[in-house]
């Protein structure tokens, strides 16, 4: 499945900035033990992606510790907020279902991202109405999706264990 994420991003994530929203194993906690985000971020880092993590509760020291066994090569950063994490990102991966991620200003995020840009909603929590911006494909993996005019790519994101299923959209 990781291959499908890479395929969606034109067969490479090398030197691409990936914003990871959520690192704790579940919302409303800073506990990262056995969090799928560890393997997801580790795999991204192994592919030489520039990973920027934001989690409202997980501390930077814990995130760095959890990813210490991966070859980070200076490609890991931790942001103070979701907007900072998404700035200049090529893709966003939502891993933890924090309520505040539902209320993000997606136009602001889109405007600050590198293009083309992708959203991998690993928890299917994003408000589809809020994503109805030009050049965004919306829906869930089980919905019939009608892409807007122009080039888009539609696919499904899941982690390496198949625990999450979500929607990926190309924007811009």
Give per-residue pLDDT as tens, 9-29. Answer: 888 999 999 999 999 999 999
Q: What is the pLDDT of residues 37-75, one digit of tens each?
A: 999 999 999 999 999 999 999 999 999 999 999 988 899
Position 65 scores a pLDDT of: 96
The one-character DSSP state at 26 is: S
Position 11 scores a pLDDT of: 87
Phi–psi pair at 101, nearest 5 degrees = -70, -25
**In 144-156, which positions are buried (b, 16+ CB within 10 angstroms) versus exposed (e)?**
eeebeeeebeebb
Bridge partners (DSSP) listed for residue 19: 52, 92
Q: What is the pLDDT of residues 107-128, one digit of tens each?
A: 899 899 998 888 888 888 887 6
Position 4 scores a pLDDT of: 58
Overall pTM surpassing 0.85 (yes/no): no
User: Distance of CA 16 to CAs 10, 115, 152, 170, Å?
Assistant: 11, 11, 19, 15
Residue 13 token pair: 């994530």
Q: Which residue has the higher pLDDT, 1 or 7?
A: 7
Is the pLDDT assigned to residue 151 strictly greater than 70? no
Is the pLDDT assigned to residue 155 strictly greater than 90? no
């Amino acid at each position: 499945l990781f291959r499908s994420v890479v395929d969606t991003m034109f067969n490479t994530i090398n030197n691409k900035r990936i914003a990871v929203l959520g690192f704790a194993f579940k919302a409303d906690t800073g506990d990262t033990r056995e969090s799928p985000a560890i393997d997801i971020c580790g795999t991204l880092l192994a592919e030489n992606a520039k990973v920027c993590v934001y989690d409202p509760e997980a501390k930077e020291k814990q995130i760095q510790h959890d990813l210490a066994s991966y070859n980070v090569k200076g490609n890991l950063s931790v942001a103070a907020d979701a907007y900072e994490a998404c700035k200049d990102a090529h893709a966003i991966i939502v891993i933890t279902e924090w309520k505040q991620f539902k209320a993000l200003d997606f136009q602001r995020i889109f405007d600050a991202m590198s293009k083309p840009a992708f959203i991998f909603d690993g928890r299917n929590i994003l408000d589809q109405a809020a994503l109805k911006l030009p050049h965004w494909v919306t829906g869930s993996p089980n919905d019939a999706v009608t892409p807007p005019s122009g080039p888009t790519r539609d696919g499904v994101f899941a982690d390496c264990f198949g625990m999450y299923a979500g929607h990926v959209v190309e924007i811009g």
